[in-house]
Structures are given as structure tokens and as C-alpha cells.
A and B are shown apart, each in its own frame.
Chain A
Amino acid sequence: MADLSTNCGGIKSPNPFWLASAPPSNSAYQNCKAFEQGWGGTVWKTIGEPVMNVCNRYGGLDVNGLKLAGLNNIELISDRPIERNFKEIAEIKKLWPDKAVIVSLMVESKKEAWHDIVKRTIDTGCDGIELNYGCPHGMSERGMGAAVGQVPEYCQMITEWVTEVSTIPVLVKLTPNVTDIVYPARAAKKAKAHGVSLINTINSIIGVNLDTLEILPSVAGKGSHGGYAGPAVKPIALHLVSQVARDKEVCLPISGIGGINNWKDALEFILLGASSVQVCTAVMHHGFRIVEDMIEGLSNWMDAKGYKTLDEVIGKSLHRIDDFGNFNLLHKTVARIDQEKCIHCNLCYIACDDGAHQCIDLTPVNGHNKTVVREEDCVGCDLCSIVCPVEGCINMVRLDDGKEQKTWNELVQQFKNDDKELSWENLAEFQKKHGIVIH
């Protein structure tokens, strides 16, 4: 069995699966239960300033009957007295010495306040600190959370207050509600943070009640933006993680967060540079028990692929991210429909005809419609194969042999060398030479 243990910014855990700082990591009871079921670490729900919550706090996004494709919340940081939290953190760490116990912190932007809470946190015996600069609702209006994370200078200043007194690793949790996430990540680096965790939740309004016209979730008729999470945010999170991971200046370990529902999701974050992952919505939906499959699935995948340690996997796909200008324009694929597998739903036809490039024909045969791709017209967009409900029925077949290569950047350079303008005419000449037909 593969070794799943990991070290994320100096915080060690038996596996990369951590509870994110959120309702599931609110109490000793929950963290203890999670550890019993196999979670490798927990980021204790943010402690700090006195707060009071409201109800209702959550809004779910259902997609075609699929519950909780997205989840938004307006819950604040821990509303339990801070002393009780410290006591429970210490108890849990004592009970579970080999698991990672990280404490998420948020206090007002005063040096003394941060120094004080950091010291008291270290006294619990925990393994690390995570700075909550991401919370987009409730706290940001009070100058905390995302209000800090959105300004790289604040982010750097406050992180410095923490790192100058901390004797344990410090992770900075980044908000996605910025134009370019790399800047606050660099600020964390400059302030000597040991790692970054991302993404925090995304600003959102989950919906409007069509009977009452109230904003959801409704607090006695009033609503507000909240933090969006769950499976729907995963692609955004993957992109932001990869951006931070590829930045030459940041160079910090990453704890990946955002819509992780199972081991496959987790693995994608790891392949894009995360050395641990944090989970919240999936646990809120199905409970701590999901970790068993996460551990098994990841381990089985690593065994099947021949990876022995997690380090061999971390960031393994990063080098495949490239600029559009470096893609081979002469790479050619077309869709092929396996008539044996086709069930005649015609979804590929309507998707292609209305939503793509009109290169699938419907031909009535024996009372059915036969769907056939006109390969000479197919642009290889892949839409038909992703709408097809039958596994393996539509395949994208590569037609080029890979020998010829011309990227956009190379083409532009060639035009320059040949003293040619980048014009539609010159482009058409290039396309014609390579048999590329644009309708």
C-alpha cells in the first residue's frame, strides 16, 4: 500500500485529508469523531473575535435534482467561547498526537490582538496555525477575513505579526474574491508564512425564493451575499491552486480546498501542487465517513500507477499547464460515434447543431435516427462526446501523426520572419496548406 503521509509546510499528517475550517471542525466531539474515522488532520473552525450567528445560514444549489452541487453560507467564525475552544483543542491534540491539528484564527487587525491569540493557540500544543483572510461575509464588514485577504499589503503586515511570534507553522488561507490570487500569495511568502491554503469561499447569492421573492438564505426576510462552496466551485479552485503553484515567487506548500467530494477530486488538487487537501461541503452533506473511500481510492490509484509516496504525485500535472500560444495548431481530432453503442437519444446531434459546428447528420434508419459525424467538417470540439450519456460511445480520434507542429506563437514568429502581416488572408493561406477548413 502506498504511503499517504504528507508534510504540508511543516505540518505532518498520516494522510492528506484534512477537515477544512468550517462547521464540521467546530468541536472536540466532531474532530474526535473525524479522526476516529480516518481523517489525517483538521483545521479547527476559526476562533477569535466574539460573534453571534443568525438563522438561516445555508443555501443549497440543486442542479437537475442533484442536491448540493453548490452550498452557500453566512455562518460566522466559531460562536463558542474562546476558552472552551482552547481547552478542547488541547484535549484533542493530546488524544491524537499523530494527526494534524491546525487552528484557524481571526481577530481584529491589531498587532497585540494577533500576538496574544497566537501565543495562546501555541499553548494548546497544536501543530499549526491557519490565518483566515478569506471569510467573505459578516467578518469582512468588520475589517477582518476577506477584507484583509483582498489587500496584499494588509495580508503581509498581519502575517508578519503572526510569524514573528509563532513557533509553529503558519498557513495563510487565501480568498478567491480577488482579481489575481498570486499577489496575496506573494505577500504571504514575503511575510514568511510556511504555506498557503486555498480557496476560501466565493462571494455568492445562492438564489431567490420565487414564492416570497426573498433572498436565500432568508434571515427573517433579509438576505445577503455568502460564501459559495461545494462541487460547483472545484474547477475555479483547481485553477487558482495551479496559478499559485506555478508562480515563481510564491514557492510555498499548498493546502488545496474547494469542492473536494471524493479521492478523485483530491487527487486533481494534489496533481496541481497541493500537499494536503481540505474538505467541508462533502462532509456537511454525507458525514465524516466519506474519508474511508478517499483514503482507499487514493491509495489504490497510487498502487495501480506505481507511486509509493505522495511526494511523487504532488504537482505531477503542473508542467502540462501551458499558454494557449504554445499549443499545436496542427493537432487534429474528430468525433466518431460507435453505432453499436448508440442509443439514439440524438443529444449529440442537437448539441452540435445548435451549440457547436453543425457537423453531425441525422439520418432516419429503421425508425431510428442514425447520427453520423461529417469528419471533414468536425472541428474536434468534443461537445458531442461530453453530452453523450453512453460511456465510450463517442470517441475523439486523433488524425494527425504528431510529426508536424506549429503553435500560434511559432506562426506569429514565422509571419514576422517572412515579413508577413497577421491578416485573415495569410492565416487562410496557412490553413489551406494544412487542410484546415473553417466554415
Chain B
Amino acid sequence: MKNIAEKLTNEEYEKNFAELHPPLTQNSAATEANRCLYCYDSPCMKACPTHIDISSFIKKIATGNLLGSAKTIFKSNWVPLTCARACPVQVLCEGACVFVEKGEKPIEIGRLQRFAIESYFNSYKPQLFSKEKSNGKNVGIIGSGPSGLACAAELSLLGYDVTVYEANKIPGGLNTWGIAPYKLRQADSLKEVEFIKSFGVKFKMNTKVGEDISFNDLYKKHDAIFIGIGLGEATRLRIPGEDLTGVVDALDFIEDVKNEKWDKVSVGKRVAVIGAGNTSIDAVTEAKRLGAEQVYVIYRRGTDDMSAYDFEYELAKSDEVIFYFKTMPKKITGDNFVEGIECVKVKLGEKNEKGKRETKVIPNSEFILPVDMVIKAVGQNISNNFINDIYEIKIERGKVVVDEDTFQTGNKKIFAGGDCINGGKEVVNAAYDGKMAAHGIDKYLNSNKKSAIIR
């Protein structure tokens, strides 16, 4: 990089990456829990993609039944600590809280969930769930992200022998590698992995399917396969200069930051992030927190069109991020290193059939923004991995097609969930997919069973 941002002191890094929402104390959790109305068939539960029985787990915090509270949460969601901290609660459970309709502050469901789960992880961790007797069948799970973990946990308790294959050296997928450190640290994601491991789930690390082990081997070895591999490579910008030194993929950058060795992460003095989704907000605020002096977001449409949540946008603004809306990158300039990004202003037209507004370049509106680093955050795609070679699996618009109830793919033995089937949603959606896929698998492998136990 031409101009690297100056390193900060350890204190400054810690301050910059300190958690946004501190944990509740025992007292404040009880107070907040008592404020909950204990709604029946509550709107918050319906708004949660995993349908956690929120009013019940909160009631249990209020009565001091913390073990029961954690159990209520785990029954619906195997990665609740991550969800408690990474979920966009404003648009999910807390957004649906009846207090919002009443014109009052919603219950802090996310923080209460974190309190319940941390209370369990910090306790002597008595066994919460009993496993069914081994049924002699085994399932291979590809990917240890939230959908894989959820699927593994659920299947393991149903009596299956479960092996998770993970390409990375540390498990957890995006829970471990993709969430901004001021929301969740690696260690917290790993607590959930350890918890699921304690059910007897086996993890094979550094094992990339298609490279370290062939898919065919797995297919032969296991009675069923669950694929939870997320998305693949970052979508290319397809503009000149994309391969200059200083152009990076947002997820690579974020993963780098997640190592929590902040002084080892190179960040430019001036950084432009392309795209205005939640990943780009993470990347741009992290760049700022690493010491970048000027940070920009370049997005070709307007504020109303961006997929970043309002609270993420607000966070970026409070980090002094400068947003270039209705601006399209045309070329990344520089010889070997990034020196700038040439942009052009666009005019927005009517919405097309996909609900996106048409863009029209405004002639002679080109300008060059001098930057040292360009972070690409315009999405990912599923190309270039083994899944494309499985001919029965249908991929439409970059998403693996599955049955919406069983999560079965075109191959009866193969199931899938998470980002690879939804194109990139929240952790909580993946957690739901994995759990439901486990029941799909159980139905497939154990069709004689009277009824699948759904806890």
C-alpha cells in the first residue's frame, strides 16, 4: 500500500474495538426482565426467525431460573450467544416488542438473551439436553458456520453420529470470522462450538471439501450430507485496476481483523469501501477503528436503496464515514499500488422488476477520490466450489435450491442451509435452516420413526 495508516497503541485498539453493548448485570437483567409483559404468543417470538420463546426465557430470568432460561433459548437456537450480539434486533424481536407499539422503549431482548446464555456458560454447565440412543446412522456436515453447527447439534441429540468438516483451522464460520469485534469476539463464538462439541459432534478441521477430501468420498461415507458452506468469493467489480495492491475483499479484511492482532492488519490512510450493505459498514468502521484517517463508502444508489440497516448506517456516520451516494466506481488508479478511485455520478430512475432503481451515468461527472486502499463489499457468489459439480443440485440466481420444509436439495441425500441457500442473510436465519434441515434429514433417514422429536 502506498500510504499505510499509522499503528495505534494497544489501549487505542482496545478502546476502538470495545463492545458496543456491554452485558447486563444480574440486577439490571432482573429489572429489565421484570419490565417484560410476558405476552402470550408474543410478537417478538414470531419475529425471531428461530422462534425462540422469548417471553418465557425472559420470565425465567425474572424468577431467577437462569438454567431454565438458557434451555428455553437453546431449544430453538443453537448459536444464541452469537445471535444475541449479531442479530439486527431492531428489525427482528425488539422491533416487534409490544412496547414499540405502546410508544415505549422495547425490552432489551438481545442483551437479556446474552445474559441468560453467558450465565449458563459461566456456570458449572450442567447437562441441559439428553441425547437419544444412537441410531447407527451418520451424517457429514460441510462447514462449521451457524447452519452447520445448528444441524450438527440437533442431529447429535437425535442420536446421529455427526462429523463436521471445516476448511478453516478455527471453527464457527462467519460467527467466528465475520462479525465485527465490537459486536462479538472469537472466544464467544467458540463457546458455542465447544457446547455443541460436548454433545459428541466430531470436528475435522483444515479439511476443505474438494481439496483435502473429495466430495464423493464424503458422499459414500455418510448416510446424509448437510452443506452449510456459506458463499464463496467476493463478486468482482469488473473495472480496471481491480488487481492493484491495496484492493481487498471485505470478508478477507474482516477475517483479518477477527484475529484480534490489530497491529498486524494493514490498513490504508485513506480507504474506500465499495457497496453499502451491512458487510461494507463492518469493513468501513473497522478500517476507521484500525486508524484509517479518511474512510469512504461508495454506493451507486441512494440511502433508501442501501441494504445496510439504519442502525449500521448511524454507527458508520458516528465513525465519521463519508458516504458517496449515487456514485459508481469506474476505475481504480495507480501503478502498482492503489492511488485513487475514479468515480462517476449517476442519476436514479424508476425501480425495475427486482425493486432496484435503474442507474444512469451523468455525463462529465467523473472525479477522482485519492485513496490508498479499496475494499470490495458488493456481495459474494457461490461459484468455484465443489457444489457446482454435483449435477443434481440446482443453483438458481447463485443460491442452492432446497425444499422449504426439509431443506433437501435435488439429491435426496444432500441437504443445505444458511447463506448458500439464501444468498446471505443473518446468523439467525442460518441457525434456523440448520435446525430444520436436521429434522429434514431425520425424516429422510428415519422415515419409520413415529414422530420426530422437536424440542
Chain A positions within 8 Å of B, measured between CB atoms, are 64-66, 343-347, 349-350, 362, 367-369, 389-390
Contact = CB atoms under 8 A, between A and B. Distances in A.
A347 B34 contact: no
Given A65-B31, A65-B34, A367-B46, A346 B62 contact: no
Given A64-B62, A65-B62, A389-B102, A347 B30 contact: no
Interface string B92-117: 00000011011000000000000000
Contacts of B99: 343
Nearest to B32: A65
Given A343-B98, A345-B42, A389-B37, 18 more contacts: A64-B62, A65-B33, A65-B34, A65-B35, A65-B62, A66-B34, A343-B99, A344-B43, A345-B39, A345-B40, A346-B39, A346-B41, A347-B38, A350-B40, A367-B46, A389-B98, A389-B102, A390-B102
B97 to A, nearest CB: 9
Contacts of A389: 37, 98, 102
Nearest to A362: B41
Contact of A343 (B30, B35, B101): B101
A64 B98 contact: no
B34 A369 contact: no
Contact of B40 (A347, A367, A368, A390): A347
Nearest to B100: A343
A389 B37 CA distance: 8
Interface of B: 30-31, 33-35, 37-43, 46, 62, 98-99, 101-102
Contacts of B39: 344-347
18 contacts: A65-B30, A65-B33, A65-B62, A343-B99, A343-B101, A344-B101, A345-B37, A345-B42, A345-B98, A346-B39, A346-B41, A349-B41, A350-B40, A362-B41, A367-B46, A369-B41, A389-B37, A389-B102
A64 B40 CA distance: 18
A368 B43 contact: yes
A389 B43 CA distance: 15
B41 A343 contact: no
Nearest to B38: A347
Contacts of A65: 30-31, 33-35, 62
A389 B40 CA distance: 13
Contacts of B42: 345-346
Contacts of A64: 34, 62
A389 B41 CA distance: 16
A65 B62 CA distance: 8
Residue among A345, A350, A362 having the largest count of chain B Cβ atoms under 10 Å: A345
B37 A347 contact: yes
Given A65-B31, A65-B34, A367-B46, A349 B102 contact: no
Nearest to A387: B37
Nearest to B101: A343
B294 to A, nearest CB: 43
A349 B98 contact: no
Contacts of A345: 37, 39-40, 42, 98
Nearest to A393: B102
Nearest to B31: A65
A347 B38 CA distance: 8
Contacts of A390: 102
A345 B35 CA distance: 13
B279 to A, nearest CB: 28
Nearest to A64: B34
A64 B35 CA distance: 9
Nearest to A346: B40
A48 B59 CA distance: 48
A426 B63 CA distance: 49
Nearest to B46: A367
A65 B32 CA distance: 9
Contacts of A344: 39, 43, 98, 101
A95 to B, nearest CB: 42
Nearest to A350: B40
A369 B46 CA distance: 11
Nearest to A345: B39
Q: Which of B37, B62, B98 has the most CB of A within 10 A?
A: B98
Contacts of B35: 65
B123 to A, nearest CB: 16
Task: Across the A-B interface, give the 9 residue pairs with the lowest CB-CB distance, nearest first.
Answer: A65-B34, A350-B40, A345-B39, A346-B40, A343-B98, A343-B101, A345-B98, A64-B34, A343-B102
Contacts of B37: 345, 347, 389
A367 B45 CA distance: 12
Tell which of A66, A343, A347 has the most Cβ of chain B within 10 Å.
Answer: A343
A349 B40 contact: yes
Nearest to A63: B34
Contacts of B30: 65
Contacts of A350: 40
B138 to A, nearest CB: 40
A349 B46 CA distance: 17
Contacts of A362: 41
Contacts of B62: 64-65
Nearest to B30: A65
Nearest to A389: B37
Contacts of B33: 65
Contacts of B46: 367
A186 B432 CA distance: 71
Contacts of A369: 41
Nearest to A367: B46
A82 to B, nearest CB: 43
A203 B2 CA distance: 82
A364 to B, nearest CB: 10
A282 to B, nearest CB: 21
Nearest to A349: B40
B215 to A, nearest CB: 40
Nearest to A390: B102
A189 to B, nearest CB: 46
A395 B254 CA distance: 55
Contacts of A367: 46
A368 B43 CA distance: 7
